[in-house]
Chains A and B, each alone.
Chain A
C-alpha cells in the first residue's frame, strides 16, 4: 500500500473494525464491502442505525450504495478529480482544520495551490457527478466530528492507484480526520493475511517490519541474526517474475499457496512465463491451475491442520490453532520450507511455530511484543506492539504520524490506461462476489458456497441490453484487444450504462485474459478495474 505509506508512514488501517460503528460520517470508496468485507459492512449498518451518514463513491449501484445518503456514482477511474473537487469545496467553505495542518502535517501549501487552480465545473464534467452532490458530500464529511474513509480494491487497482490513495489521505488530513478514535483512513485488505505477509517482509524491497534491504543498518542486523551475507539489491516484483515470458531472467520458481495463473491480469502471459520455466515447485492444498504447470507439487496442510498466526485488516495478530492432524501425507508449509533449506545446507531447526514467532519479535520492532503465549490468552494484539508489556495499538497516529509529519502529496487526474473507443465501446470492471473468494481454490471446493453461486455472469445495464438485444441468461462473447471469453449475461441496474461488470473467480471465464497490464508506476499494482471491451450476443 504505497500511497498511505508515503503520506502517513504506515500503510495499514488506522482504526479498529469496531470503531467504525461509532463514526458519524462514513465514506466508502471503491469497496464492495457487503461482499468483500462482511464484518466491516455490518459495522457500517450498525453506525447507520446509530444515525451516521453514509457516502458511497462507486460507479456501480452496490448494495451499500442503496443505503447511502449520498451516492457519488462517478465514471470509472475518476476518483482523483472527485476527491480533489471535494477538497476544493472544503477550502471554499472554510472547513479546513488549520490547527491540525499546522501541527501535524507538511507541504499543505502545494496542495492548496493546486486546488485553487481547479475548475469545479470541469470536475463535474469529468466525473459525471453533479456539483451539488460533490459539495454536499464534502461538507458532510468535513463538518463531522468523527469520520472514517474505507477503501478497497477499487481504489488501488487503477493505473493511478497510488495517487488515489494519496488523494484520500490528503482529504482526511485536510479535514483533520486522522488522529482520533472513530476517525481515520481504513484500507480494507482482501485476503485474510495480506497484512501479515507484508509485515513479514514477503516483499522484494523490505525485511520484516518494512526495514529496507538497501539500508545498511537494517541489513547488518539481519545478517547478524541469520549468519549469512545478504543482497542489498531489491528483488523483482510479482509482475516482473510472472510476465517476463521467455526473456525473463527468472528460470525457476517456488510458489507457496498462490494461483497467479488465474489471479493475475493477462493470465495468458503468466501461463506462458510459467510454462517456460526450467523448474517450478508449488505447494498448495488443491491442484490449482498454477500447480498443474509445476514440476513438483507439495500437498500443504490447511489452516485447520497447523498452528500459527494471521494478521487481519485492523493489524490484529491472532492465533490459528490446529484442530486436526494434517490429512493424507500433507505437511504444513513451515516443514516443507525447513526440509528444503536443510537439503541446501542451511538447517532451520524450529521446534514450534511459537519459536519462529520469538525470532520475529526479536527482529521486527512492530511485532516486538507478539509472543504466542500472549496471543493465546487474549483476542490477539494489534501492532505496533513494542514489547512484552505493551498492550497493542487499536488506532494509529495518535500524537504523531509514523513518519513524523503527515505529508500532503498533491495529485492530478490520469486517465485510465485504456479508454473505450469505436471498436471496443464498453468499459469492463471486475470484482468479487459474496460467496466466493479470490481465485476460489478454497471456496469452489465447498459444496454450499458453490450451490449459491457457481458461475461467472456478466452484468449488463438494461439500456445496453436493449441495444444489443440481450436478455438475462443469454450467452455473450466478450472481447478485448487481448483475448475473448464467453459467459452468461445478467441484466441489472447495478452497473451503469456503457459499462459491464464481472468477477474473477472462475476458470471457465478467466476474465484476466482480457485485462490490461499497464501498471501503476509507483505501487506496481496491476490495473484490473478498467479496460475497453466489446460484447456480442451468441446465437444458437
Chain B
C-alpha cells in the first residue's frame, strides 16, 4: 500500500493529487493538502481518475490490421512494420508525405521527443496537436 503524489491528467488546472496503490492497482485518489492549486480539493473528475486506469477496455497489446481486421501482434512486428512504412513514404514523397499529431494529454518529455523525431528523422515540420481547441 502506498500513495504516490502526481498531477491530475484531466484539465489545465493541474491539481496535485495522490494515487492510492494497493496490490499493484490504483484504487483511489486523494487531494493534496498543500498543493497551490488543489488546496485539499479536487473536482469530480480528479476524485475518480483512478477508474479509467484499470478499465477492462484498455489496450494491452500492439495491434495490426490483417485482412481488414486489427489483430494482436508482437511489439517487434508492430514497430518494424511502422518504421518500414514511415521510411517508404518519407523517401517516396521527398519528405512531404508524412504528418504527425502530438497530444495535449501526453507529457512534455513525450511531446518533445515526438517533435524531435518528426523533425530529425521524418525530416518535416508537419507536426501539430489539438491545442487550438
Contact = CB atoms under 8 A, between A and B. Distances in A.
A340 B112 contact: no
Interface residues of B, number: 95
Contacts of B101: 238, 241, 253-256, 258, 260
Question: Which of B19, B34, B95 counts the most chain A CB atoms within 10 A?
Answer: B19
A526 interface: yes
Given A231-B125, A308-B108, A340-B83, A296 B113 contact: no
A354 to B, nearest CB: 9
Contacts of B24: 324-325
B71 to A, nearest CB: 10
Contacts of A40: 13
Interface string A268-306: 000000000011010011110001101111111011111
A328 B60 contact: yes
Question: Which of A294, A314, A344 counts the most chain B CB atoms within 10 A?
Answer: A344
A255 to B, nearest CB: 4
Contacts of A442: 9-10, 52, 105
Interface in A299-326: 299-300, 302-306, 308-314, 316-325
A524 B51 CA distance: 35
A443 B43 CA distance: 13
Interface in B78-113: 78-83, 85-87, 89, 92-93, 95-113
A251 B96 CA distance: 9
A281 B84 CA distance: 12
Contacts of A258: 101-105, 129-130
Given A193-B105, A317-B108, A331-B75, A235 B132 contact: no
A379 B36 contact: yes
Nearest to A449: B48
Question: Which of B11, B16, B64, B120 counts the most chain A CB atoms within 10 A?
Answer: B11
A202 B102 contact: yes
B30 interface: no
A276 to B, nearest CB: 12
A102 B133 CA distance: 35
B111 A445 contact: no
Contact of B104 (A191, A295, A323, A324): A191
B111 A202 contact: yes
Contacts of A446: 48-49, 51-52, 55
Nearest to B59: A299
A308 to B, nearest CB: 3
A332 interface: yes
Contacts of B9: 192, 302-303, 310, 320, 442
Contact of B54 (A291, A327, A379): A327
A226 interface: yes
Interface stretch (A31-39, A74-82, A136-144, A404-412): A31-39
B107 A312 contact: no
A191 B105 contact: yes
B52 to A, nearest CB: 4
A296 B26 contact: no
Contact of B12 (A195, A204, A332): A195
A294 B79 contact: no
Interface in A28-53: 36-40, 42
B78 to A, nearest CB: 5
Interface string B116-129: 11011101111111
Contacts of A252: 85-86, 89, 97-99
B130 A18 contact: no
A194 B12 contact: yes
A45 to B, nearest CB: 12
B13 A319 contact: no
Question: Which of A204, A207, A437 counts the most chain B CB atoms within 10 A?
Answer: A204
Given A156-B132, A296-B78, A200 B11 contact: no
A329 B61 contact: yes
A95 interface: no
B86 A320 contact: no
Contact of B85 (A263, A278, A380): A278
Contacts of B36: 16-18, 316, 379
A309 B99 contact: no
A264 B48 CA distance: 27
A286 B57 contact: yes
B123 to A, nearest CB: 6
B125 A233 contact: yes
Contacts of A497: none
B116 A296 contact: no
Contacts of B48: 446, 448-449
Contact of A235 (B51, B59, B120, B126): B126
Given A201-B112, A249-B93, A296-B63, 12 more contacts: A202-B115, A207-B119, A252-B98, A255-B100, A257-B105, A281-B85, A287-B70, A297-B59, A341-B117, A353-B109, A359-B112, A434-B45
12 contacts: A37-B12, A39-B37, A194-B130, A197-B131, A198-B129, A253-B101, A312-B37, A314-B37, A322-B4, A346-B120, A379-B35, A443-B52
Which 8 residue pairs spanning A and B have beta carbons closest together? A328-B60, A312-B14, A308-B107, A235-B125, A257-B103, A202-B102, A38-B43, A343-B83
Interface of B: 4-16, 19, 21, 24-26, 34-38, 41, 43-45, 48-55, 57-65, 70, 75, 78-83, 85-87, 89, 92-93, 95-117, 119-121, 123-133
